A and B are shown apart, each in its own frame.
Chain A
Amino acid sequence: MSASGTSFPDPDWPRQDPTRPELPFSHHLPPDPLLDAGSFIDSSTVPSRTLPSSPPNHARDLDRTPRKKSDTSSTRRSPFRAQPLNSYNLPSDSPAPRNGDSPASKKVSASTSRGTDASSKSALSERPNWLPPGWVVEDRVRSSGATAGTVDKYYFDPVSNRRFRSKIEVLYFLETGTLRKRKKSLDGNPTSTDGSEEPKSKKSSSNTKTAPLDFDFFNVPERVEWVLTDPSKDAWTPFIDKEKVPEYTKREWVGAFQLLGRSKV
């Protein structure tokens, strides 16, 4: 019985599939609206969502949508890694020097036209109209791994420096001011690979200095009205002069609040 049991997916683990058997459940991304439970993506044709803990590359963080495949062959196994432009100061959880492959990142210049192309493409790409002002969109091309060449779109919150990997994550954050829940990692390689996690420990210290720079602590409105708009979630919405405060503004407030809460309360 036990032997045969191994061939069946664990009922509590509906999305397990042979291509990533080593994934602990805790590493699963939030439920995928495009991928039914029990189904899986063939990594040979479509970007698979490999795990943060899978060593060699940054093939993790895949988005759900199919990617351009045209440049896959040219960059597959390429030693360089796509380097984002420095126009945006990435938080320290960006994929940069991890897993000891930082030397590779130094080789960007050595990499052919493909490299520059990737770099330029990683610059600010077209802004979706649902994205609040100030957010940064970036397309990054994977430089190594089985899924090299695929393009990942990232969204950066200028206030918290958080990184988001999908519209779903962004909208959830904008609406709730919180991050989508995920289980805590069990293996000690927790959230460092996910920029959408709340900045912690080593990183928070630097963010404490930088994140709130554009928050005007001194121009305090005379009054704000907070209305319990979603009792089931204990969600409160601020109003100023009977006007609802935009979600991204509220989010800035929340960011500033959390910032102060971390530093001194």
Chain B
Amino acid sequence: MEGHGDQTMLKPSVILTGTAKEGSSGPPIGLVDIGVSEGAYLFRVALPGVRKDRSKVKFEIKSDGKVQIEGVMTGPGFLKESSAMYQMKVQQLCPPGPFTVSFKLPGPVDPRLSSPSFRPDGILEVVVMKSRAQPTVADSHPPL
């Protein structure tokens, strides 16, 4: 029993659980999920560390489905109060500075019909309607 206790003590203080445990092969920022429904697309973009209040988050949607997200990654918060300079020995989080995340949705959209939400957990979640200008959805709104 005590052996188990010792093992716990020896473990590093960083504990990863869930999806975070599966490695950081991708960039820590800008992971994108895209969902499709009959009339709309949904995309979710991971923006960990992007602070709502000072990151100037914005995104552009083009009618052909291209999306570009812009923002500014904020640095460590405590540096403001501290005069110490830190040379980063481990740098796995996105470094401070501007960034963009670009991708393309599977089809044309109506950039006006968008409902964005920057969730408190750092996920930018946006629903955007498929373009009605295409005859693909002519069933309920037949072209005039």
Contacts and interface: CB of A to CB of B under 8 A. Distances in A.
Given A220-B133, A234-B118, A265-B38, A226 B110 contact: no
Given A228-B58, A234-B117, A264-B140, A223 B63 contact: yes
B111 A217 contact: no
Interface string A239-255: 00000000000000110
Contacts of A219: 133
Contact of A264 (B38, B63, B115): B38
Interface bin, chain A:
20 to 34
Given A217-B132, A218-B133, A231-B52, A224 B118 contact: no
Contacts of A225: 58-61
B95 to A, nearest CB: 21
Most B CB contacts (10 A, CB to CB) among A227, A228, A232, A236 go to A228
A221 B58 contact: no
B93 interface: no
B117 A217 contact: no
Contacts, number: 94
A231 B63 contact: no
Interface string A207-223: 00000000001111111
Interface bin, chain B:
20 to 34
B112 A221 contact: yes
B25 interface: no
A223 B110 contact: no
Contacts of A256: 112-113
Given A224-B112, A231-B53, 11 more contacts: A218-B144, A220-B108, A220-B132, A221-B112, A226-B60, A226-B61, A227-B56, A228-B52, A257-B114, A261-B39, A265-B38
Interface of B: 37-40, 52-53, 56-63, 108, 110-118, 126-127, 129, 131-133, 140-141, 143-144
Closest 6 A-B residue pairs measured CB to CB? A224-B111, A231-B52, A217-B132, A227-B58, A228-B57, A257-B113
